[in-house]
Amino acid sequence: MIVRHSRGEYPIHFRSAEAIWASLNPHDPIVTDQNVARHYADALGSLERVLVLPAGERTKNLTQFGRVLGWLAGVGAKRSTRVVALGGGVIGDLVGFAAASYMRGVPFLQIPTSLLAMVDSSVGGKVGIDLPAGKNLAGAFHAPSEVWISQDFLKTLPSRHHRNGAAEVWKAGYIHRPALLDALRKNPVRPMHPDLQWIIEESVEMKRQVVEADEFETNGLRATLNFGHTVGHAIERQLSYRRLLHGEAIAVGMVWEAKIGERLGVTPVGTAGQIAADMAQQGLPTAIPSDLDRRDLVLSMGGDKKATHSGLALSLLTGWGTCKLITGIDPAEVESILLSE
Ligand SMILES: NC(=O)c1ccc[n+]([C@@H]2O[C@H](COP(=O)([O-])OP(=O)(O)OC[C@H]3O[C@@H](n4cnc5c(N)ncnc54)[C@H](O)[C@@H]3O)[C@@H](O)[C@H]2O)c1
């Protein structure tokens, strides 16, 4: 699969983990996290330059960003050096941003090891880190030079993180890929799913089509990837990024954005109920945590990047597999919907 962008193109290769280890250049600097390093210690042991960072979202910060840059300089990385990001979305985003900045940009290879990173974060060229003021506040568009995906890595991924990535697979189905929905309703995403390869490829293909058609988020198409994310991000912010993983918050967000869409007459009636049933079947949450103030949630949604002075902007389903960015939504109306149940 090839992803075309304004500065060129990059291939996405689907291969076995064994082939990935065999294809790696032992001299390439490779950055990973402690969990991945623990599971793949033998393979990593044969590589010369490996930086292991703490695992988790808190690593996506300025300190670790500086640490990666300093390490690249220390190992003598040059303009042509290819930096390898081996890990989930945290490592991909952080290392991608370091690659975008080091010597004003060096190539980087994404090897996603979590489901979320395979189907979402490794494709599209968005890289970045969190600031104390908010998530993903510093970043760049820096396309990888290649992406190598192997579902073999998922064998060691904890099941909660597997479900976390599954939320983005369902989202791909809801917004642009109805064939995925038919398959997932028969057999939800799970580690040894017989169609896992096809599920990953379909999700990646959906993202490829969207990012190629709207690389810099200027025509509204890329914004459709945010279905479930306006409510989901607000929940994550209100919970200070604790308790719920991103995909879990997005699962709740998709149910509620479908309810909002139904009330606004954009989304067919019955959609929210079906999504709630899908999420429950997948083992993902559907309810807004009871201790969150729903008025605060709407205020938080106003801080979303897509919101304007004329109101909230939400990516809403117009049917199974179709989605549209709706702007100028009155926050008072959203508040009344959130308070109605
Ligand atoms: N750039 C983008 O377009 C984009 C899109 C969506 C999400 N993101 C970002 O992605 C991040 C979330 O990604 P994530 O869910 O992969 O988080 P993550 O990188 O923290 O990985 C989740 C957990 O799984 C562990 N892990 C990863 N692969 C493993 C494996 N094969 N075996 C065992 N453990 C493994 C990690 O150590 C971590 O504990 C967020 O920071 C989010 O902002 C970016």
pLDDT at 241: 87
Mutate which of 3, 61, 93 to test ligand 1's pocket (most atoms within 8 Å of Cβ)?
A: 93
Distance 39 CA to ligand 1 centre (A): 15
Q: What is the pLDDT of residues 153-189, one digit of tens each?
A: 999 999 999 999 999 999 999 999 999 999 999 999 9
pLDDT at 114: 98
Residues annotated catalytic, as ranges: 104, 126, 168, 207, 217, 222, 226, 229, 233, 246
Ramachandran bin of 87, using left for φ above 0, alpha for ψ from -120 to 50, beta for the remaining angles: left
Mutate which of 121, 147, 222, 305 to test ligand 1's pocket (most atoms within 8 Å of Cβ)?
A: 121
Provide residues with CB under 6 Å of ligand 1: 33, 35-36, 39, 55-57, 60, 87-91, 93, 113-114, 116-117, 120-121, 124, 126, 136, 153, 156-157, 161, 164, 246
| Residue 36 pLDDT exceeds 90 | yes
Tokens of 299: 């205020």
Q: How far is CA 251 from CA 93, 171, 261, 311, 333, in A?
A: 22, 9, 15, 23, 22
Q: Side chain identity at 164, as an amino acid letter? A: N
- CA 116, CA 129: separation in Å to the nearest integer? 17
Q: Side chain identity at 153, as an amino acid letter? A: F
Asked if 266 and 326 count as a contact pair (C-beta separation under 8 A), the reply is: yes
Mutate which of 32, 116, 200, 215 to test ligand 1's pocket (most atoms within 8 Å of Cβ)?
A: 116
Residue nearest to atom 13 of ligand 1 (CA): 89
Q: What is the pTM of this model?
A: 0.95
Distance 117 CA to ligand 1 centre (A): 6
- CA 69, CA 77: separation in Å to the nearest integer? 10
Kind of pairing between the strands at 322-329 and 312-319: antiparallel
pLDDT band at 239 (very low <50, low <70, confident <90, very high): very high
Residue nearest to atom 34 of ligand 1 (CA): 157
Ramachandran bin of 264, using left for φ above 0, alpha for ψ from -120 to 50, beta for the remaining angles: alpha
Residue nearest to atom 18 of ligand 1 (CA): 88
Q: What is the pLDDT of residues 100-154, one digit of tens each?
A: 999 999 999 999 999 999 999 999 999 999 988 888 889 999 999 999 999 999 9
Q: Is 321 strand, coil or helix?
A: coil
- CA 261, CA 165: separation in Å to the nearest integer? 24
- CA 185, CA 152: separation in Å to the nearest integer? 24
Distance 118 CA to ligand 1 centre (A): 9
Can you tell me the mean pLDDT for 6-31? Answer: 95
Can you tell me the mean pLDDT for 240-245? Answer: 91
pLDDT band at 341 (very low <50, low <70, confident <90, very high): confident
pLDDT at 135: 85
Residue nearest to atom 44 of ligand 1 (CA): 121
Element of type H or E holding 214: none
- CA 200, CA 202: separation in Å to the nearest integer? 6
Residue nearest to atom 22 of ligand 1 (CA): 88
**Residues in the chain, total:** 341
pLDDT at 192: 82
DSSP category for residue 288? P
DSSP structure string for 6-44: TTEEEEEEE--HHHHHHHS-TTS-EEEEHHHHHHTHHHH
Burial 288-324 (b: 16+ CB within 10 A, else e): beeeeebeebbebbeebebbeeebbbbbbbeebbebb
| Residue 308 pLDDT exceeds 80 | no
- CA 230, CA 228: separation in Å to the nearest integer? 6
pLDDT at 163: 96
Q: How far is CA 277 from CA 133, 252, 261, 325, in A?
A: 35, 12, 17, 24
218 contact partners, CB below 8 Å, separation of at least 6: none
| Residue 306 pLDDT exceeds 80 | no
DSSP structure string for 160-190: HHHHHHHHHHHHHHHHH-HHHHHHHHHS---
Q: What is the pLDDT of residues 248-304, one digit of tens each?
A: 999 999 999 999 999 999 999 999 999 999 999 999 999 999 999 999 999 999 876
Closest alpha carbon to 51 in 66, 37, 63: 37
pLDDT, mean over the chain: 94
Asked if 207 and 198 count as a contact pair (C-beta separation under 8 A), the reply is: no
pLDDT at 309: 72
Residue nearest to atom 4 of ligand 1 (CA): 121
39 contact partners, CB below 8 Å, separation of at least 6: 156
Distance 331 CA to ligand 1 centre (A): 32
